[in-house]
């Protein structure tokens, strides 16, 4: 089984926060692939379905970000999921808005949700970082991360979420590079093609 986890905080007050883009991303995957409605399990909300014929569980821990590992560990233990079949999607302050980076294993870079997962479930899972951009000043970081996406942000957030839904087939293949490349292709700005001027007739 494949387990895809989105990180965020539960409750309506948090649902549009930049910190919750992980929740938004896994919902986009579930919606794109016709997963079941959400139900409560493993201290979280789960949706079940298949991607490229592979049974897949999507989990949004309802434990608050800093304790995400307890929910992930329960799901991993119950379904006996290998650590390399676990993908975690979350926000990244130090990536430009809309950029995506994927790697397997590595450090947690001060992200409390990742630290909790590494403590409870192991470290060699796949990490999908979704850039939310940096506000530029340290004093503004908390308000930025725990602030809602603005109307202007939706111009890149919505296409990014659509692309993640479409690119999830690469997650099923364990292909992090393919996942990144597919999203880059799907989200690149459409170039306007100017019509060619009419050719001059020769006398």
What is the β-pairing status of strands 44-51 and 39-41? antiparallel
What is the β-pairing status of strands 54-61 and 2-6? parallel
Q: Which one of 19, 33, 79, 134 is the catalytic residue? A: 19
Residue 52: name the closest of 81, 29, 22 by CA.
29
Round to whole Å and give the CA distance between 195 and 192: 9
What is the β-pairing status of strands 39-41 and 100-104? unpaired
The verdict on whether 19 is a catalytic residue reads yes
Round to whole Å and give the CA distance between 185 and 59: 27
What is the β-pairing status of strands 2-6 and 86-92? parallel
The H-assigned helical ranges of 104-147 are 112-121, 141-145
Catalytic machinery residues: 19
């Amino acid at each position: 089984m494949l387990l895809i986890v989105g990180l965020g905080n539960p409750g309506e007050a948090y649902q549009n926060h930049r910190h919750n883009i992980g929740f938004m991303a896994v919902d986009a995957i579930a919606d794109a692939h016709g997963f079941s409605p959400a139900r409560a399990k493993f201290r979280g909300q789960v949706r079940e379905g298949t991607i490229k014929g592979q049974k897949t569980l999507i989990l949004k821990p309802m434990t608050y970000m800093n304790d995400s590992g307890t929910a992930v560990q329960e799901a991993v233990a119950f379904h006996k999921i290998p650590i390399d079949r676990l993908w975690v999607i979350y926000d990244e302050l130090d990536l430009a808005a809309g950029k995506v980076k994927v790697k397997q294993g590595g450090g947690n870079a001060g992200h409390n949700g990742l630290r909790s997962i590494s403590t409870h479930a192991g470290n060699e899972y796949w990490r999908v970082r979704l850039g939310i951009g940096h506000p530029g000043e340290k004093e503004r970081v908390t308000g930025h991360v725990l602030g809602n996406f603005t109307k202007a942000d939706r111009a890149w957030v919505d296409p990014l979420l659509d692309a993640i839904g479409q690119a999830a087939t690469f997650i099923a293949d364990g292909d992090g590079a393919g996942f990144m490349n597919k999203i880059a292709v799907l989200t690149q700005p459409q170039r306007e093609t100017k019509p060619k001027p009419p050719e001059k007739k020769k006398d």
